[in-house]
Amino acid sequence: MSIESAAAKPAESPETYAPRDFIRQIVREDLTRGKHAAIRTRFPPEPNGYLHIGHAKAICLDFGIAREFGGWCNLRLDDTNPGKEDPEFVEGIKDDVRWLGYEWHDLRHASDYFEVFYRAALKLIEDGHAYVDDLTAEQLREYRGTLTEPGRHSPFRDRSVEENLDLFRRMRAGEFADGSKTLRARIDMGSGNINLRDPAIYRIRKVTHQNTGDAWPIYPMYDYAHCLSDALEGITHSLCTLEFEDHRPLYDWFVDNVDLPNHPELWQHMREAGFRTEPAKPRQIEFSRLNLSYSITSKRKLAQLVNEGLVDGWDDPRMNTLRGLRRRGFTPGGIRLLIERLGVSKQNSVIDYAIFENCVREDLDASAARRMAVIDPLKLVITNLPEGHEETLSFSNHPKDESFGTRQVPFSREVWIERDDFAEVPPKGFHRLKPDGEVRLRGVGIVKCEHIVKGADGSVTEVHGTLDLESRSGMPGAERKVKGTIHWVSAKHGVAADIRLYDRLFNVATPDDESDGKRWTDHINPEAKRIVRGWLEPAAAQAAPEQRYQFERLGYFVADRLDHRADAPVFNRTVTLRDTWARQAG
């Protein structure tokens, strides 16, 4: 898969943006032909982990298409694997979907349909389409064959319908040990599609389920439950990523042979529970996944990062889980913009992470108010202002949008500036503060460096300078030109804050590629998290949790949703103002 570094389409406003892709074209044609009265989709995650950026594409597609065409989308938790699933993940999934800006028509669980699945399995047995197998898991793999060799029939494949019904009912009653028997579909062990080589339908697992408790000692396999859930819910367009393309013939086989629309006895008991949807055969359409450079989207590996303490939890801002991205300050609008610009196709590719960051920058540039903060402080003393001098200056909250209004910023004789805004021996082209040099202090006037103070180790601890009083706002010299402008925070009024400087979790574009002999965890970026003690103007410290700002000249930051308080501010860097990785690569 190639890395796409310039895939962005021209920006369009939400009012004018009208996605056009092959899936939407199919939906339009189906509606035009009268194939469906309404569009019904679903987003069906397994609740065995938190959602990540890859899921965002499916969410935007499933819910977005339903919204665009006046239909509805269910949120369905495909909870067929107890022991690895957790109610905590269910709540996290619901929270993430809402955060992205979507609401579901119905909240469903595959476990809502366990009785239907069981009855459907009995029907498949009665029709000669399923049998109980005693092969062990190892034997099943051996009998299944390979990509180049056909599978072999199980010695238990020709059991009678009566024997299979008896054994399956006894499996349901809990008579047999875990893993001792499986119910398999009788399809074609010689098929070139391995998914059709008598796949398992049910396995014995005496594990408590988070929704059904200990009611079931057997659980349906994902492929069986997934497609029948779609059919039960009357889903018109079942949207899946490309890895499920080879599963489609199996899904169609299950749906056709169970034939829910013509066998209401399998599901009419659900009417008593308020289920009103008429079953139908869904059309499955596959699309490419969202893969980002410098990222992983394997749930197993994301869980490994958490379990081995390599990150600070599922919502660590270095993680590309939706919870982590949210805590880092990435916006739902920025994520949706990425999905819109990438479009929908069947071609797998890896998208340059810089495209994602640029979408977030674009969204934040319009939506984030401006504030001043200093993250590597150096004191500047303005010696021609009297001791104790302080005043209040008016600053715009957003230079491009007057509707954001203004704020009052305190100014005093001593201010904090960024350490790299001063150079005792300036490099060529340096246009900030230097000995005998001048710079504009944002919103104040022009300051000239007159003197520096050093500590015992020779490092600069203070810079002393004078303010050209004629260069202040409204004075004749205010228009005098100098090449540099720097920001500041009043030392007297500034609020100390913990500033967490986050960056990409991995320092290589393809951390999963272990061809260099290193493990994927060896590519964790040691600079992905740094914590510094900085200073904020008072208005920034008063931010609500999750409030986002552009800290002028530094980047976009967010008040941490858990740890931030007005009296003890904590801000996370979302993204820098510009792409620093491109410069490193160059």
Residues belonging to the binding site for ATP are: 46-48, 52-58, 241, 289-290
- Catalytic site residue from 84, 157, 289, 301: 289
Q: What angle do CA 88, 92, 96 make, to 5 degrees?
A: 175
Three-state SS at 258: helix
HSE-CB at 578 with a 13 A cutoff on CA atoms is 5
Active-site option among 46, 85, 357, 418: 46
Residue with tokens 């476990």: 111
46 part of the active site: yes
Which residues, 6 or more positions from 61, have their beta carbon under 8 angstroms from its beta carbon?
23, 239, 287, 339, 344
- Please say if 281 is a catalytic residue: no
CA 133, 136, 140: angle at the middle one, nearest 5? 75
Chain position carrying tokens 């990435």: 330
Q: If we measure between CA atoms, which residue out of 222, 229, 282, 274 comes closest to residue 252?
A: 282
Looking at the DSSP assignment, which residues form a beta bridge with residue 486? 441
List the binding residues.
46-48, 52-58, 78, 222, 241, 289-290
Alpha-carbon distance 438 to 484, whole Å?
8
Distance CA 453, CA 422 (A): 13
Cα–Cα distances in Å, from 258 out to 114, 158, 224, 254? 14, 21, 10, 6
Contact 129, 168 (CB under 8 A): no
Distance CA 375, CA 498 (A): 9
With 0-12 CB in 10 A as exposed, 13-18 as middle and 19+ as buried, what is 263?
A: middle
Residue list, annotated binding site for L-glutamine? 78, 222
Owner of token pair 């920001």: 487
Listed residue (560, 582, 581) closest to 570, CA to CA: 560
- Bridge partners, 155 (sequence order): none
- Active-site position among 76, 108, 159, 299: 299
3-state secondary structure 485-532: EECCEECCCCEEEEEEEECCCECCCCCCCCCCCCCHHHHECCCCEEEE
As a whole number of angstroms, the distance between CA 549 and CA 575 comes to 11
Catalytic residues: 46, 289, 299
